[in-house]
Structure 1
Amino acid sequence: MRDALVEFAYRSGWSLVRRMPEGVAASLFQRLADRTWRANGGGVRQLRENLRRVTDGRLNEEELELLVRDGMRSYLRYWMEAFRLPTLSQQDVLRRFEMHGFEPVAKASRAGRGSVVALPHSGNWDLAGAWVGAQGLQLSTVAERLKPEGVFQRFLDYRRELGMNIIPLTGGARSPQTELADCLAKGDVVALVADRNLSSGGVEVDFFGHKALFPSGPALLAARANVPLYAAHIFYAEDRAVCYLSEEIPVAGPGRLRQRVATATQQVADHFARGIAEHPQDWHMLQRFWPDLNVRAMERMSARGDQTGAHTEAAPGSTDAPGSFPLSEDSSDQGSQERPVRDNTADENGSTNTGRTTEDLT
């Protein structure tokens, strides 16, 4: 029953919101964002702590609350634009999106050599994909299966309407890594949302002064396919979204593949951090991100501590959410390294959580 209601809500959103005048839709979603912020559900509480860490004590509590509110407005703006994006003309897409640093990617793609672009959950990456298509280039990505299935299929249809080549994470005739390698060989731009590790493995990076796990997939895929790797950051600027690409991040060269992937992944994280620090309100991270910053676990343990009179601290949480995009290294190329990658190397992956879950607002 719940799945049917969720699917109905999504379908209604796509049907109704795209028919509204844009100003009416924007006002409606801003009011919804403010109501969700005031309701202070689990996603909002987690966003608050994530942003508290990003801003590193520079904001007082009132300023932090305004940032959280603006973060929810940015997040709901993404949804409003997602519902309306298929109705935009190519000229509208070009007018609403501003790209910087894309020339090397476009040049390589037109010469038949693909590129891997890693990006965080920020701004509107669907609009970025539509913009790439408007340049006459093919963008390919992987979609994690969502529940209910009807919502997942609607997301597939939606992104394909925008001209993207969508590879299901599971259930395909071939593995996603094989499909992506073929896409790169044809000159596609492969975009992977890569700031949230959804597997039991990953590369340990420093992110805003704390340890976090990032997926190794983007760097590993680029290294194996011998194509360039870039990191992107997208944010909103009034009536448009803006994207800055990094310089090419080296993945080739001497040394073990494992070490090169770890070094490149840290560089991806550094680029993300610079963008998020400048535009924290546009980082849509309503889920647990740092292992030691799990709001719901901390609240549960605090409640138990209140009941027993004992002092408690939140234990680091394990990486959650099903679904992985395995890009494991050959055993012959495994070895120790200075920057640790979790020992279960066979599970190292690049998670590609390109679809939002239906629990983001809870």
Structure 2
Amino acid sequence: MTMKDNWQARLIMRLWQVLSQRTPSTLWRLASRFEPVYSLIGVRERRITRMNLRQAFPEVSEQTRRQQIHDSLRHSIATMMELGFAWQGDPEAVEKSIVEVHGRELLDEARAEGRGVIVLAPHFGNWEILNFWLSSHFPFTAMYEPPKISALDPVIRHGRERMGASLVPTTSRGVAALLKALKRSEAIGILPDQVPDWGSGEFADFLGYPAYTATLLPRLVSRTNARVVTGVARRREDRRGFDIHFLKADERVYAQDDDALSARGVNASVENAIALDPMQYQWEYKRYRRTPGQRENVPGWREQRFYKQGRGGRKL
């Protein structure tokens, strides 16, 4: 680890520690105050957010889109500030911040039937709060990839495991652990909107444009009798806490012999979650960074076509 990484790690850990003592409403106010500055310095994030929002909401006015960008970045800043609260805050305070849980019966019914539950957890609201709640109430397993700054690994790992979650590597050994958990009628978590490596996905429509989508889900479904649900932790309108929502997944996720159809079901499930409050989705992520026609190991490939030109070749 370099001296720069060590300095960054110390700063981040100290920040998480300080913010862990704050309430969600206070963290939201801090995010709102910091957002204008972040909008000025976060040129890349603002640009990608604009491109993704233009794809998702092509019909809105430019004035509305500017407000969408500010709202989206404010939620993303709040998510980052809430990490200390989710990972290091008093467990009773974190539990109390979860005001309502919608759709819990989907999990309870599946487990009563002896079925495991696959929770599709997109980058919406605060997924670490969702992890906290799931691992507090169910045997829960999720894949985990260590951060680039290795000094942060023990803090993040402890934060995610402190309520009982089991973290497994993003390898074949990790997939085997997920299968075992499902066969024990437990719950597992999958990030459905993370771009997979080449060879591990299929292109499927997401908000009107093909997105490279992981095909791990049909492999898990085909070998278990698991129920699939979408789960999110949504900030309440008063910003004083969170509501957990579990939604039935699109039926196409169960298409075991058609990976492309299953991937479309995954993306449709994410779209249904986004509809709860569109600006709470993490729009600054390059969801379309792999594009049809792009191939692995193409010499000189740098920028992805969608983010270089925009949909239909238009410069954004």
- TM-score of the superposed pair, with normalisation by structure 1: 0.72
Matched, 1:160 2:161: yes
Matches within 5 A, 1:180-219: 180-201=178-199, 202-219=201-218
Match status 1:273 vs 2:274:
no
SS in 2 for 1:93: helix
Of 68-77 and 14-23, the range deviating more from structure 2: 14-23
Change (3 A) 1:186 1:91: farther
Decide whether aligned partners of structure 1 residues 127 and 258 sit closer, same or farther in structure 2, where only a CA change above 3 A counts. Answer: same
Structure 2: which amino acid aligns with 1:66? Q
Contact 1:138/1:188 (<8 A) preserved = yes
Residue 29 of structure 2 corresponds to: 27
C-alpha change, 1:15 and 1:234, in structure 2 (3 Å) is closer
Q: Cα–Cα, structure 1 residues 107 and 207, in superposed 2: closer, same or farther, change >3 Å? A: same
Q: Given residue 127 of structure 1, which amino acid in structure 2 is its aligned partner? A: I
Q: 1:277, 1:21 → 2: CA distance?
A: 26
Determine if contact 1:133/1:164 at 8 Å carries over to the other structure: yes
How much has 1:250 moved relative to structure 2? 6.0
Structure 1's 278 and 28: CA in aligned 2 closer, same or farther, altered over 3 A?
A: closer
**Match in the other structure for 2:71:** 70
- What's the offset of the Cα at 1:277? 4.0
Deviation of 1:214 after TM superposition, in Å, equals 1.1
Q: How does 1:307-318 map to 2 (within 5 A)?
A: 313=313
Count of equivalent residues: 297
Once the 2 structures are TM-superposed, how far is the Cα of residue 218 of structure 1 from its aligned partner? 2.2
Structure 2-normalised TM-score? 0.82
**Matches of 2:282 and 2:249, distance apart in 1:** 24
Equivalent position amino acid for 1:34 in 2: P
- Does the residue aligned with 1:142 lie in a helix, a strand or coil? strand
Q: Which residue of 2 aligns with 1:282?
A: 280
Contact persistence 1:229–1:250 (CA under 8 A): no
Amino acid at match of 2:82: E
Return the alpha-carbon distance in structure 2 between the equivalents of residues 313 and 205 of structure 1: 20
Cα distance in 2 for residues equivalent to 1:286 and 1:249: 28
- Residue of structure 1 in register with 2:107 after alignment: 105
User: Percent same amino acid at aligned positions?
Assistant: 19
Structure 1 residues 184-227: Cα deviation after superposition (integer angstroms, max 9, x where no partner): 12222101111122211312211111111111112321222232
Do the aligned residues in 2 keep the contact of 1:94 with 1:131 (CA within 8 Å)? no
Gaps of 5+ in 2: 293-301
Deviation at 1:235, TM superposition (A): 2.9
Tell me, in whole angstroms, the C-alpha distance in 1 between the residues paired with 2:254 and 2:64. Answer: 44
Q: SS of the residue aligned with 1:175? A: helix
- C-alpha distance in structure 2 between counterparts of 1:219 and 1:301, whole Å: 32
Structure 2 partner of 1:119: 121
* Alpha carbons of structure 1 residues 30 and 3: separation in structure 2 relative to 1, 3 Å: same
Give me the whole-angstrom Cα distance separating, in 1, the residues matched to 2:214 and 2:249. 20
Shift in Å at residue 176 of structure 1? 0.5
Which residues of 2 match residues 39-50 of structure 1 at below 5 A? 39-50=41-52
Give the corresponding residue for 1:220.
219
> How big is each residue's C-alpha offset from its partner over 1:74-98, in whole Å with a ceiling of 9 and x where there is no partner?
1121122221123244475255253
Stretches of structure 1 lacking an aligned partner (at least 5 in a row): 303-311, 316-362
Match of 2:295 in 1: none
Post-superposition offset of 1:156: 0.8
Quote the offset at 1:160 in angstroms: 0.8
CA contact (8 A) 1:117 1:232 kept: yes
Contact 1:205–1:213 (CA under 8 A) maintained in structure 2: yes
**CA 1:81–1:40: 2 relative to 1, 3 Å:** closer
- The 8 Å contact of residues 98 and 240 in structure 1, kept in 2 or not, is answered as no
Q: Is the 8 A contact 2:24 2:97 kept in 1?
A: no
Structure 1 288/23 Cα, relative in aligned 2: closer, same or farther at 3 Å? Answer: closer
Alignment match, 2:296: none
Deviation at 1:64, TM superposition (A): 1.0
Summarize the Cα distance change of 1:122–1:23 in structure 2 as closer, same or farther, 3 Å threshold: closer
Q: Which amino acid aligns with 2:187?
A: V
